Amino acid sequence: MNTAVSPAVRQYFTSIRAALAGLELFLGDRNSPLYRNTVVGEVIVPYLARLKASVACWENRIGFVENFRISRAESGFPVFQNVLELENDRQSAEKRLASIPTADALREEMVDFILRQKAFPEALQARMAERLYLEQIGKGDIFSPLILPETIRVAVNPKTMRPYYVVAWGAFDGTQTLPMIYMATIEDSSDNIVEMLVTEDGKLNADVDIPLPVGGLLNPELASRFDDFASKNSAYSLTPVTIATNLDKDFPELHPKQLRRIVLGPFYSAGITENNARINDILSKVRKTENAWLLTWTVQEVFSKAERPAERGFWSSTPAQEEFHIDTDNLEAARMGVSAYEKHALVPHDAYQALYAAGEAAQVFGDYKVHVISGNQVVSEV
């Protein structure tokens, strides 16, 4: 790695790797609320894998670039420019790799340089880091600015006799620098789809082979438009009810019954982030720096409480419309534009003890559901 990389940057990567590994552990814990809600857990896992791959790429990248910036005062994640650069480099990785000597050849050159020059081969080390970075990009999917939708489940609503899809997609918000995961439950009233997928007794047609997950919306006539919709309606600045309402208006054949958004972050790391001075001050007192972090996320949900039926008249017609429930009795829910929400915080045992000892735990966590990692176990709702 680049010898110029500061200890603070190295500590940041150690912390965020530990946090994402901890979230992975939490998702696999049979006692976690997300494990019990298998659909949500199933959706998050592949996007978490993408985020971990991006972090691994960024960690290799700091070995040969001058600057690496994170959103220290806000989300605690790398700034959006880093996300864009990963995406650009992914597209050119194969060509760039062809111009760099193999790893074995670079190692031989480094040994030869050390023996002849009696010095550290910084330039060769940077080339090695670049090669590892480009190879890492090619190993798997990364968390792109937009991760296109895919259909992960299909079933039939026996009351409406319509098929419904669970569709998931991801987005990295450029303004708030937050990775987000979306999942929507959508009924499809397209005549051809209903005829193909729904049997006379209101069940899913077993004769139709659906190899899940399916790239894009299952309805091929709407899939391209749905991708375009996701690209234009996934910003953090849009509330879930706005996104669901836009979907309902843009697609007369689609009926969004539920939309969830999982917002990862903010992330707090001692000595690195500045998004909460009190939290960072307490985390800085944690004995082991690899345990001096706190990861939060929010699950937002909006659901339809009723569907106004379509009206067909001689001169005009009005498509069916969803009536989305907003919890106006809860000011935070009303501000978010959601029916319900949950805030979660994941923290190592050492860091939780430090916050508790400082008498700050209740104030810091407030209405968060707290999950404490101790070894390979997660204790929730402490």
The identity of residue 228, as a single letter, is D
Query: Coil, strand, or helix at residue 32?
Result: coil
Closest CA to 262 of 360, 149, 342: 342
Q: What string of pLDDT tens digits covers the 382 residues of the chain? A: 444 567 888 889 999 999 999 999 998 876 666 655 567 878 899 999 999 999 999 998 888 887 788 998 899 999 999 999 999 998 888 889 999 989 899 899 898 888 888 888 888 888 888 898 898 887 768 999 999 999 999 999 999 999 999 999 999 999 999 999 999 999 999 999 999 999 999 999 999 999 999 999 999 999 999 999 999 999 999 999 999 999 999 999 999 999 999 999 999 998 888 888 888 888 888 888 889 999 999 999 999 999 988 777 655 667 889 999 999 999 999 999 999 999 999 999 999 998 888 888 888 888 899 999 988 888 887 5
Measured CA to CA in angstroms, residue 213 lies from 46, 150, 209 at distances of 12, 6, 12
Asked whether 301 and 323 are in contact (CB, 8 A), the reply is no
Report the alpha-carbon distance of residue 60 to residue 336 in Å, rounded.
37
Report residue 39: phi and psi, to 5°: -65, -50
Of residues 109, 140, 141, the one with CA closest to residue 126: 109
Please tell me whether residue 164 adopts helix, strand or coil conformation: strand
d(CA 264, CA 221): 32
Per the CB < 8 A criterion, the answer to whether 124 and 112 are in contact is no
Within the chain, strands assigned E span 146-157, 162-173, 178-188, 214-215, 254-269, 293-308, 311-312, 317-318, 321-325, 340-348, 368-374, 377-380
Phi, psi for residue 359 in degrees, rounded to 5: 70, 20
pTM value is: 0.91
**Distance in angstroms (rounded) separating the CA atoms of residues 102 and 357:** 52
Q: What SS3 class is residue 381?
A: coil
